[in-house]
Structure 1
Amino acid sequence: MDESLLSIMEVREDLMVSPIGDSEPALRSAYFLKPIAKSLDGPVSKVLSSSMTMSLPPVFEPKDWPLVIHFDWRRHTKKKWVEWVDALQLRYKSVWKKVGIFEAIMSIKCSIAKDQNLCFGIAEKWCAETNTLLFPWGEATITLEDVMVLGGYPVVGDPVFAPLQSHEMREAEKKLILAREQLWRRTKAKASLSAWMDAFVNSGSEVEHEAFLATWLSMIGFSSKGLVSTLVFPIAVHLARGNPIALGPAVLASIYKDLTLLKNSIVGMTKQLVLGDKLELEVTLQSPFYLVQIWVWERFKNLQPQPRLINHEDPMMFRWHKVKALKIDNVRLALESAMEHFCWRPYVQYAGKFKVFYPENETLVLIDTDLDKEPTGLLVSFATCLRVSLLVGIQSTIKKYLPHRVAMQFGMDQDVPSCLPRFDGTKDFAWKNYCRPISDRSLYFPARLFEGDITTRYAKWWKRSLMGHQDFAKNMGHQDFAKNIVRRKRSPRSPQVSKANKNGNVDDDSNARKRNSDVDAPSGFLLKRLKTVSSGNSAQDGTIANESIDAYVPTCKNLSNPSSSASTAEYENVKRISPLTKLLAKDTVEPLMGRLEEDFEDANGSKESRLSSERVSLSGTQGESYTF
């Protein structure tokens, strides 16, 4: 395997600028996701060519296009499904939580309003070669982090094609197959979700739980045309017995596949329009494509409707239950002009739900070689979201996962991404690539208020990539984010979220900034190099089996504090975190640096939060409202 892929991060000093062009180049230490291109020539300069030269309709009028989209996820009988969920969660909630699918199951109770124009607009930006969305300011994409946070799908566990090992598990699968065959004969070759639920809801069947999970898996894109597929039966049997399955990469692979299908359909339709062909095209999207729509709502403030307030324990999806989409006349134009409306790190608002991912201060967690004790898998999940890999989906669908192209979505800095060769291997080889050991001896967590920058050579490369394709630059509404470099002094940027005080009122930007002045890093400040403590000198492992999540949130010296000493002794209090899988250690550890930015606005871009008075709790639980 390529040496550059063995470790996740690279840290070095480089000239950095703001991606929106409001800063002078500043030499500082920066964190990058690997692999990084060594040269701007060759494959790196050509990788975006195919998408940039694809023809799109000259006018964004989807209602007039001869293209119809069918969403499989909208065919479900909601009332019947919700009643089944409520009936079974009393018995199986602990199992669902053990395998990490509780929030994902509860999320399917939500009703998400379809915004077809938004789906068309975002698909136009899709690049199938890189599995990213191309915008004037750079690349962005739906990542494993998005699938995990928004959808609640686990990204660690066994693959979706894991075989059934025991005789008892294979017998359970046979009972499901038999039930489907009987249903198939009764309904004239249709094992629909509705008919499947009628056969099992309150049936008292010994495989009702497995049948329920098979229904849910079919709903989230693991089968087609609203039917129950035998492909999901082994997965359902595993999950029913508490065996974790990595559903996240399979879900993301299906989303990438559907984005490519929709993009190619739009391009094909455009060719038909040019030739005067009036044939209507129909496209069926089998993935949980609502995640793409919600991804846009979470990140584009100018396209975001009013979300609901939710309780702290509710899944993230409940924010968008029955929320009406904004009426945007031209989604293409709204996306093209959204450079300053794009939120790179929207989930830092929910740090209370994901403390390991979004620490208050940038944190270095030393990785032990004995890593089987960490009870939640959060540390491994975070590392999995950050590294280049291959996603294995249903029916041997394999897609490249390239987070190094969108490093700023994780609070990292962005350099020119290296290209990866085409993959033509098997699903087994792809899965070994996905769950390969990590060689890093430490993991770096950026402060939750930190936003990354881009290198000056990235600014040059992206500008050259756009201007090399004038038609694409014109269609994209190209804005030269590098044109203002050196004109203005760098001012700290910050994630765009407002805070609510103890009285429930939203603080304005200036007051919030005053309270956080103790963690602000001076503009252009270059932090000292820090040494990490070796495994042999670190503190003893603490017992965390019976502690709450607060007990194993990594604690570390604030790396953003300019007065911090670089001595090894000051970092001997770092807690030892042990993920579920073993990570291999390297002999050297890269120095850690960074800085913490100031305060932030709300998710909708204003300095006052637009908080809804309506609260939703689909799980039936009552409690303190989770606000931001």
Structure 2
Amino acid sequence: MRLTPATIDPGPVDPALLWEHGQHRIDSVWTNEAGDRSYHVRGTTSLVTYHELYRPYLEAAGLLSVMPLVPMNSDASLITALVERWRPKSSTFHIPFGEITITLEDVVTLSGLAIDGDAVVVDIPDEEWSAICLRLLGRVPADLSGGVGVVRNVWLRDEFSHLPGNASQEVIEQFARAYALSLMGGVLFPDRSGATVHLQYLLLIEDWQRAGRFAWGAAVLSYLYRETDRSTLHITHTGTSLGGDLGGWVALLQFWAWERFPHLAPRHSETRAHISEDASPRGLRWLSANNRQYGDQLFQYKLWFDAMDTVVWQPYLERALQLRGSVIQSETFRAVVPLICFSSVMWHHPDRVLRQFGMRQHGGRQ
């Protein structure tokens, strides 16, 4: 007998528990509406060119570790296969062994960004966005809308990629802000379009010393959770399709997948094998794979995840043992806390993936 979607009930058994299942991409895959189309994962081609004079500002802000990790090519097929297993209610991927997810431990280890500190949110001053842009960047784009407060990443690249040779300290600082803003709009917090960045992020780096107190890593994870949630919604509550774009720092998710699923990772000959296992940030060890060309392998990835028999629950175990005395950091890794990035407030649920911390998963979440 030929099996069709009508002869097999894919679930869920109780729709009250997964009431948004009909809007999830996996439902459209089952009904063959999505087919085998991968998400469109945008690159980081509109970044402002880095200058060494920006280093002290980025270091003070706690963003310097990100700079060597970009740009990075993404494997859209791998990311799509992962997103199809993502569940927004739990912020975890469902695999044959249970649940697994990217946590604060992964973020700080792979990116070097701080995960403990002030929430990434600031008061919006009673000031026109054009005035804020002029005050902090020294110039204003002609198409800046007064009420919207977004600038194009391409405008940042075109205006701030060539630091004048006789630049004053004020101009250097403005250009450094433009570079940091392009990192936020193109790497850390890109939306699905990848075309613009909100000037609210510029306010975060108005004071470099204050910027250094932000929990950037927690904000990146919050934003990635939210964008992954959105990308799973094949159909919204209004009946419109969200399309096939994915926002957030997708390369970070790719690093995470390569660490957890080594069978899917580039061969050691393609990576920087000479970089120490405890290099910081650990994402550096994957940069040589940036020259790798990714084909359409979505179907193969789906088959692998269905039949997978290998997962590395603790890829950073040696590093964790070295940091065993850092009780505070260990507690942060396992903290059930809200992750905040302006209006994005997502929950960090390491209690659902205790095996990632060398612990036994308690009943009901195995």
Same fold (TM over 0.5): yes
Q: Aligned AA for 2:214?
A: I
**Given the alignment, which residue of 19, 24, 29 partners 1:57?**
29
Determine whether 1:292 maps to 2:253: yes
Give the Cα–Cα distance (whole angstroms) in 2 for the partners of residues 207 and 125 of structure 1.
42
Q: Distance in 2 between matches of 1:281 and 1:234?
A: 29
Given candidates 296, 300, 311, the residue that maps to 1:330 is: 300
**2:68 aligned partner, one-letter code:** M
Conserved 8 A contact 2:190-2:249 = no
Contact 2:61 2:208 in 1 (8 A): yes
CA distance in 1, matches of 2:189, 2:212: 18
Match of 1:234 in 2: 203
* Distance in 1 (alpha carbons) for counterparts of 2:220 and 2:211: 20
Cα distance change on mapping 1:161 and 1:284 into 2, 3 Å? same
Give the structure 2 partner of residue 118 of structure 1: 78
Amino acid at match of 1:113: N
**Matching residue of 1:102:** 64
Opposite residue 244 of structure 2, the aligned amino acid is: V
Q: 1:317 aligns with which of 273, 283, 292?
A: 283
1:139-158 alignment to 2 at 5 Å? 139-158=99-118
Question: 1:152-184: per-residue Cα shift (whole Å, max 9, x none)?
Answer: 22111212113499xxxxx98651366234574
Contact 2:112 2:280 in 1 (8 A): no
Stretches of structure 1 that go unaligned for 5 or more consecutive residues are 1-44, 166-170, 273-278, 360-364, 366-377, 418-457, 463-628
For 1:272-292, what per-residue CA distance to the aligned partner results, in whole angstroms no more than 9, with x for missing partners? Answer: 9xxxxxx98623322111222
After the TM superposition, which residues 139-538 of structure 1 pair with which residues of structure 2 at under 5 Å, given as runs? 139-163=99-123, 175-176=135-136, 179-182=139-142, 184=144, 191-200=151-160, 201-203=162-164, 204=167, 205=171, 206-222=173-189, 224=191, 225-239=194-208, 243-265=212-234, 268=235, 282-306=243-267, 307-312=271-276, 315-323=281-289, 324=292, 328=297, 329-338=299-308, 340-350=309-319, 355-356=322-323, 359=324, 379-394=327-342, 396-416=343-363, 462=366
Amino acid at match of 1:286: G
Residue aligned with 1:345, SS = coil
- The aligned residue for residue 128 of structure 2 is none
Asked if 1 retains the 8 angstrom alpha-carbon contact of 2:222 and 2:340, the reply is yes
Partner of 1:71: 41
Give the superposition deviation at 1:311.
3.3
**Residue identity matched to 1:263:** T
Q: Deviations over 1:546-575 (max 9, x none)?
A: xxxxxxxxxxxxxxxxxxxxxxxxxxxxxx
Q: CA deviation at 1:117?
A: 1.4
Distance 2:21 2:318 in 1: 34
How many residue pairs get matched? 322
User: Which residue in 1 is equivalent to 2:10?
Assistant: none
Q: Which amino acid aligns with 2:333?
A: C
1:259 partner letter: T
**Aligned residue number for residue 9 of structure 1:** none
TM-score normalized with structure 2 length: 0.74
The answer for unaligned runs of 5 or more in structure 2 is 1-13, 126-130
Distance in 2 separating the partners of 1:229 and 1:51: 30
Query: Match of 1:330, as an amino acid?
Result: Q
Give the partner amino acid of 1:334. W
Corresponding residue for residue 136 of structure 1: 96
Contact 1:112 / 1:321 at 8 angstroms: preserved in 2? yes
Moved more, 302-311 or 171-180: 171-180
Output the CA distance in 2 between the equivalents of 1:236 and 1:76: 22
Q: Deviations over 1:520-557 (max 9, x none)?
A: xxxxxxxxxxxxxxxxxxxxxxxxxxxxxxxxxxxxxx
Relative distance call for 1:60 and 1:326 in structure 2 (3 A) is: farther
Structure 1 residues 47 and 157, CA, compared in 2 at 3 Å: closer, same or farther? farther
| CA–CA distance in structure 1, aligned partners of residues 63 and 116 of structure 2 | 12
The one-letter amino acid paired with 2:29 is: P
1:247-288, Cα deviation, whole Å (9 max, x unpaired): 1121111111122122222xx49xx9xxxxxx9862332211
Supply the AA of the counterpart residue of 2:186.
M
Alignment match, 1:506: none
Residue 206 of structure 2 aligns to a residue in which SS?
helix
Secondary structure of the 1:311 match is coil
Does structure 2 retain, via aligned residues, the 8 Å contact 1:196–1:228?
A: no
1:446 aligns to what? none
Normalized per residue, the structure richer in helix is 2
The one-letter code of the counterpart of 2:305 is L
State the secondary structure of the residue aligned to 2:347. Answer: strand
SS in structure 2 opposite 1:335? helix
Residues 143 and 252 of structure 1 are in contact (CA less than 8 Å); yes or no, is this contact kept in structure 2? yes
Q: Secondary structure, in 3 states, of the residue corresponding to 1:207?
A: helix
Q: Deviations over 1:574-601 (max 9, x none)?
A: xxxxxxxxxxxxxxxxxxxxxxxxxxxx
Letter in 2 for 1:210: R
CA contact (8 A) 2:120 2:219 kept: yes
The one-letter amino acid paired with 2:307 is S
